[in-house]
Chains A and B, each alone.
Chain A
Amino acid sequence: MRRYATLSSLFLLLLLLLLPTPVVGGGDARAAEAGGSPGTLFHEANRLYLAGEYDDAARAYADLHESYRIEDPVLYHNLGNAYFRAGAYGSAILYYQRALHLDPPDDVADSLRANLDAARRTLSTRYRASGDENQFIYSEAAGFLYKATHVLGRTPLAVVFAVLWVGFMGLLILWRLRPDLRWAGRAAVPAAILALLLGLMVWGQLYTDASQRVGVVVTDDAVLRDGRHEDAKGKAVPEGLEVRIVEQDPSWTKVELANGHQGWIVSEQVKQI
């Protein structure tokens, strides 16, 4: 009887230890449901894409992203391609932009930019060809501060700033330890100016990344309304247009166009990059 109690305790302990496993490994469970690891699912999505089944490929890539919380520029790139080939150009732009925000490697970034341009041109042609007065004209949704501070990528800027900062401090320390080395004091001045400039850029990046949320209109029937209800007066906005997100709730998203005009769009129709 006592032995049974001991075994029961051990079993309970083991159960307690294993309890968090489904939570942590939920993705794996879903992977098992879906029939493989993320790598397997990725290759299956690629196969669908290469077989010309673009809608299915887009679903497979999107499942992979959502199930595993994968934020990978290559996955976004391929997902964007699948959307592009399936004719969902707004969603394609969304994922190309998301991928570019992840500081991808050069070859991926190069392809992303080319595909992004192709998607924008395609939308432009579509609206022009259909005689739709709602012309697609691409414009930067983010402001000058965003553009100015994102001239350099996030990682390169952080590294360059760190190197300059350490160099500047090193020069100051050297100058204090060896006051006779006047060149160290003189060299510290330009190093300080550069470090200050780059420091401001790092700050600008952090600030704009946190404060400026940019979204993309992902459907071709989105309407920018004056109020947050279906009866409010509105004007159609083209698919693929990039807008600045001012505020957002599950139903409606307040956005600002590049010309400063603000309005409300159904949240499902605009996705944050």
Chain B
Amino acid sequence: MTRSLPPYDDDDATPRRPSGCRGGAAARAVTALLPLLLFSLALALGALPGSAARAQGPPPSLTMTVDKTTVPIGEDLELQIEIEGNADSLEQPDLSAFQVVSQGTSRVIGGRQNKLVQTYTLRPRKAGTATIGGAKLLLGGKVVAQAQPIAIKVAEPEPLKPVSADEARSLAPYVNQGLFARVTAPRSSYYVGEPFTLELDVVTRRDTQLANVETVTEPKLDGLLVEDLPGAGNPNDAQAVRVGDATMLSFPVGRWLATPLRAGKLLIDSSTLRVTLASGLMQRQYTRQTQPFTLDVKPVPTEGRPDFFDEGNLGRFELRAALTDDRGQAPTTLRTGQRMVMRVEVQGAGNLLTLKAPRLASAPGFDVQPLPSTADDVIDKSEDGMRGKRVFQYLVTATQPGTQTTPTVRLAYFDPQARRYETREVPGVKVEVTGTALGSQPSAAALSGEDVRPIFEDSALESDRPEPLAQTPLYWAVLLLPLAAFVAVEVRFRLRRRDHQNPGQRLAKDAYANARKRLRAAERAVRDDLVKDFYGQISRTLIGYLEERANLPATGMTHDELRQAARQIGYDEALVDGVIVELENCDFARFAPQGSASSRMRETLDRVSELLRKLDRVQPRRLP
């Protein structure tokens, strides 16, 4: 295996496949099976008859070697298994004490040499003695070569001696190192409750590429409240740093906002990282530890501490306060019992999370109760620390009449950079309070710190509020409209379908109505004294009726044929005779119209009308 990065102290460097080893499960399965397949192929090749020459080569041999027999926990070692000569199969060594990080197979063919080399990168699972089991080479079911187990001593990493925070920041110890990791804090001394940033960086040479960083052990940070800060882990955030004569790249791997919780020496313990560097197509893995260091954490001094200082108020802050009534205006006159809200804003940089509510100095004419916190707090955490604003609210109720001074708001904080206490104050203002004095007992709402939102000062005051929509008749009427439309469409649809399925029935049903229509036409003919037209209509009325009602082909029939056919389909003789008589009358009158008076036509109309009614009462058998 070629090692191409000599400047590193790469005694623990582990060669890795460029990408396959970091692929998914399928890729790992293929990677695991590949050497076996290659090995089987090699053995099969060896068993071919054409390989007789090789069969007569050197006797089978099996060698297992490791690159180191002592390894700190977390670091990898390399195992090589070399197979020479002919064999059927290899009984793999027991590697259960290790995690197989990667493996590969290579074949060396040259002259009489035919060697298969399997390479494993192994990572011990725990400290102590880890054993690589023996391996056996089998031929024809017999062991022809074997390798003895190898014991690996897995040691806990040598604990590094903590240094001071200033020394940990210094880059001098890393001169001539191609890769290192370090944790740094901006200062070596802090106060309890003072937030600061901790930064974990990996520093590499500029000609290599950082492929991956894996945290093996997190630094132990007892006595610190630690929060992750965003923005770490982006390779594009690398910064050039000067280490000795060389310019290197520093990659931020982790950033935390830490707040000391107790005074004393605070250990920022070592962290172990597994770093993968890429150089060309090759990737190599290295394990690095950060240098532990101590911080000096001091309690907030008692000298010069104001009476109204509250623990946790550390930073640099500005104070603003406003007393407003329900209109949101600063009051000048009040009534006893009237409530106001004091809104206090503390803005600046420092530990806003532990900041206590500013104090309202006692004002005899007012009852002051804190209100629940609002959602107006804004706290930004970054590598520069913590900054933003906190909002506190108080319910202030005037209790005594007269000229009163509203409560003064005061905040005391310790400035860690200036190393002294500072105070801020918003003085009260004079207001005129009217009404009668109230008892000292606060109301239940004040006790619970509850208050209502402001009243609405404008409203249309709907006295005739409309009924809910679903309770108005119009709503349901509107909903019935589409239903009615659907019912109409459905009825039409069904009628049309029935007519489509039974067209004769429809005609039969309409026969009487059609006959009546024709009679009306005949009546008009009477009025207009159109004799021929009248009798023509009468004739068409009777014949048309029979055709439509009974599907009787009356148009082409003689009167005798019509008589016979009408009887056959169920009309009685008298009715049929009546029809025939009227038809004959029509024929006679059409061809001799001179004798037909209006009165006769009217009589004919009445007779035929009556005849039709009688005909329609009969249910004839409809011809197909």
Q: Enumerate chain A interface residues (CB-CB to B < 8 A).
A: 27, 38-39, 42-43, 46, 49-54, 64, 68-72, 74-75, 77-78, 80-81, 84-85, 87, 89, 92, 102-103, 108, 111, 114-115, 118-119, 121-126, 129, 154-155, 157-159, 161-162, 165-166, 169-170, 172-173, 176-177, 202, 205-206, 209
Interface residues on B, range: 35 or more
Please determine whether B444 and A87 come into contact, CB atoms closer than 8 angstroms: yes
A123 to B443, CA, bound (A): 11
Please determine whether A51 and B335 come into contact, CB atoms closer than 8 angstroms: yes
A159 to B493, CA, bound (A): 30
A46-B455, A154-B469, A158-B475 known; A52+B462 contact, CB < 8 A = no
Contact of A172 among B326, B450, B452, B486 (CB under 8 A): B486
A126 to B483, CA, bound (A): 56
Contact of B463 among A68, A126, A169 (CB under 8 A): A68
B595 at the interface (CB under 8 A from A): no
Contact of A173 among B337, B458, B465, B485 (CB under 8 A): B485
Residues on A with beta carbons closer than 8 Å to the beta carbon of B463? 27, 38, 68-72
B451 at the interface (CB under 8 A from A): yes
A70-B461, A166-B482 known; A84+B475 contact, CB < 8 A = no
B398 at the interface (CB under 8 A from A): yes
Q: State how many angstroms separate the Cβ of A97 from the closest Cβ of chain B.
A: 14
Supply 16 A–B pairs (Cβ within 8 Å), ascending by A: A46-B455, A50-B455, A52-B334, A68-B463, A72-B459, A74-B456, A81-B452, A85-B452, A87-B444, A118-B450, A122-B450, A126-B447, A154-B470, A158-B475, A176-B489, A206-B471
Please determine whether B444 and A122 come into contact, CB atoms closer than 8 angstroms: yes
Residues on B with beta carbons closer than 8 Å to the beta carbon of A115? 452-453
Residues on B with beta carbons closer than 8 Å to the beta carbon of A46? 455, 457
Please determine whether A158 and B469 come into contact, CB atoms closer than 8 angstroms: yes
A115 to B470, CA, bound (A): 29
Please determine whether B337 and A155 come into contact, CB atoms closer than 8 angstroms: no
Residues on B with beta carbons closer than 8 Å to the beta carbon of A77? 455-456
Residues on A with beta carbons closer than 8 Å to the beta carbon of B334? 52
Residues on B with beta carbons closer than 8 Å to the beta carbon of A89? 444-445
Please determine whether A78 and B455 come into contact, CB atoms closer than 8 angstroms: yes
Contact of A42 among B453, B461, B490 (CB under 8 A): B461
B435 at the interface (CB under 8 A from A): yes
A108 to B470, CA, bound (A): 22
A103-B468, A173-B486 known; A84+B452 contact, CB < 8 A = yes
Please determine whether A118 and B455 come into contact, CB atoms closer than 8 angstroms: no
Please determine whether B435 and A52 come into contact, CB atoms closer than 8 angstroms: yes
Which residue among B336, B468, B475 has the maximum number of chain A CB atoms within 10 Å of its CB?
Answer: B468
Contact of B459 among A42, A51, A87, A123 (CB under 8 A): A42
Nearest residue, chain A, Cβ from B493: A176
Please determine whether A75 and B461 come into contact, CB atoms closer than 8 angstroms: yes
Please determine whether A165 and B482 come into contact, CB atoms closer than 8 angstroms: yes
Nearest residue, chain B, Cβ from A46: B457
Please determine whether A170 and B482 come into contact, CB atoms closer than 8 angstroms: yes
B310 at the interface (CB under 8 A from A): no
A111-B453, A158-B475, A176-B489 known; A50+B461 contact, CB < 8 A = no
Please determine whether B460 and A72 come into contact, CB atoms closer than 8 angstroms: yes
Please determine whether A49 and B489 come into contact, CB atoms closer than 8 angstroms: no
A108 to B461, CA, bound (A): 13
Residues on B with beta carbons closer than 8 Å to the beta carbon of A64? 461
Residues on A with beta carbons closer than 8 Å to the beta carbon of B461? 38-39, 42, 64, 68, 70, 72, 74-75
Nearest residue, chain B, Cβ from A49: B455
Please determine whether B456 and A52 come into contact, CB atoms closer than 8 angstroms: no
Given contacts A71-B462, A158-B468, 4 further A-B contacts (CB under 8 A): A49-B326, A51-B335, A165-B479, A177-B489
B533 at the interface (CB under 8 A from A): no
Residues on A with beta carbons closer than 8 Å to the beta carbon of B471? 206
Nearest residue, chain B, Cβ from A125: B448
B339 at the interface (CB under 8 A from A): yes
A177 to B485, CA, bound (A): 12
Residues on B with beta carbons closer than 8 Å to the beta carbon of A39? 461
Q: State how many angstroms separate the Cβ of A244 from the closest Cβ of chain B.
A: 21
B478 at the interface (CB under 8 A from A): yes
Residues on A with beta carbons closer than 8 Å to the beta carbon of B455? 46, 49-50, 77-78, 81
Please determine whether B489 and A126 come into contact, CB atoms closer than 8 angstroms: no
A170 to B24, CA, bound (A): 54
Residues on B with beta carbons closer than 8 Å to the beta carbon of A84? 445, 452
Q: Provide the main secondary structure of the chain A interface.
A: helix
B613 at the interface (CB under 8 A from A): no
Q: State how many angstroms separate the Cβ of A251 from the closest Cβ of chain B.
A: 30
Closest 7 A-B residue pairs measured CB to CB?
A: A52-B338, A125-B448, A169-B482, A74-B459, A52-B335, A126-B444, A158-B469
Please determine whether B456 and A108 come into contact, CB atoms closer than 8 angstroms: yes
Nearest residue, chain A, Cβ from B467: A154
B325 at the interface (CB under 8 A from A): yes
Nearest residue, chain A, Cβ from B488: A173
A159 to B455, CA, bound (A): 30
Q: State how many angstroms separate the Cβ of A111 from the closest Cβ of chain B.
A: 4
A78-B456, A81-B455 known; A173+B489 contact, CB < 8 A = yes
Could you tell me which residues of chain B, from 11 to 66, have a CB within 8 Å of some CB in chain A?
Answer: none
Please determine whether B335 and A125 come into contact, CB atoms closer than 8 angstroms: no
B430 at the interface (CB under 8 A from A): no
A205 to B467, CA, bound (A): 14
Nearest residue, chain A, Cβ from B462: A72
Contact of A169 among B335, B447, B457, B485 (CB under 8 A): B485
Contact of A162 among B326, B465, B478, B486 (CB under 8 A): B478
Q: State how many angstroms separate the Cβ of B455 from the closest Cβ of chain A.
A: 4
Could you tell me which residues of chain B, from 459 to 517, have a CB within 8 Å of some CB in chain A?
Answer: 459-463, 465, 468-471, 475, 478-479, 482-483, 485-486, 489-490, 493
B112 at the interface (CB under 8 A from A): no
A268 to B462, CA, bound (A): 27
A72 to B339, CA, bound (A): 25
Q: State how many angstroms separate the Cβ of A218 from the closest Cβ of chain B.
A: 15
A165 to B336, CA, bound (A): 58
Residues on A with beta carbons closer than 8 Å to the beta carbon of B335? 51-53
Nearest residue, chain B, Cβ from A87: B443
Nearest residue, chain A, Cβ from B492: A176
Residues on A with beta carbons closer than 8 Å to the beta carbon of B453? 81, 111, 114-115
B242 at the interface (CB under 8 A from A): no
A52-B335, A78-B456 known; A72+B482 contact, CB < 8 A = no
Please determine whether B445 and A118 come into contact, CB atoms closer than 8 angstroms: yes
A72-B460, A72-B462, A158-B468 known; A52+B336 contact, CB < 8 A = yes
A103 to B465, CA, bound (A): 11
Q: State how many angstroms separate the Cβ of A168 from the closest Cβ of chain B.
A: 8
Q: State how many angstroms separate the Cβ of B138 from the closest Cβ of chain A.
A: 68
A72 to B465, CA, bound (A): 7
A119 to B485, CA, bound (A): 52
A129 to B469, CA, bound (A): 45
B107 at the interface (CB under 8 A from A): no
Residues on B with beta carbons closer than 8 Å to the beta carbon of A53? 335
Residues on B with beta carbons closer than 8 Å to the beta carbon of A51? 335, 338
Q: State how many angstroms separate the Cβ of B614 from the closest Cβ of chain A.
A: 41
Q: State how many angstroms separate the Cβ of B439 from the closest Cβ of chain A.
A: 12
A85-B339, A122-B448 known; A202+B470 contact, CB < 8 A = yes
Residues on A with beta carbons closer than 8 Å to the beta carbon of B462? 70-72
Nearest residue, chain A, Cβ from B456: A74
Residues on B with beta carbons closer than 8 Å to the beta carbon of A102? 465
Residues on A with beta carbons closer than 8 Å to the beta carbon of B420? none
A39 to B461, CA, bound (A): 7
Which residue among B456, B463, B483 has the maximum number of chain A CB atoms within 10 Å of its CB?
Answer: B456
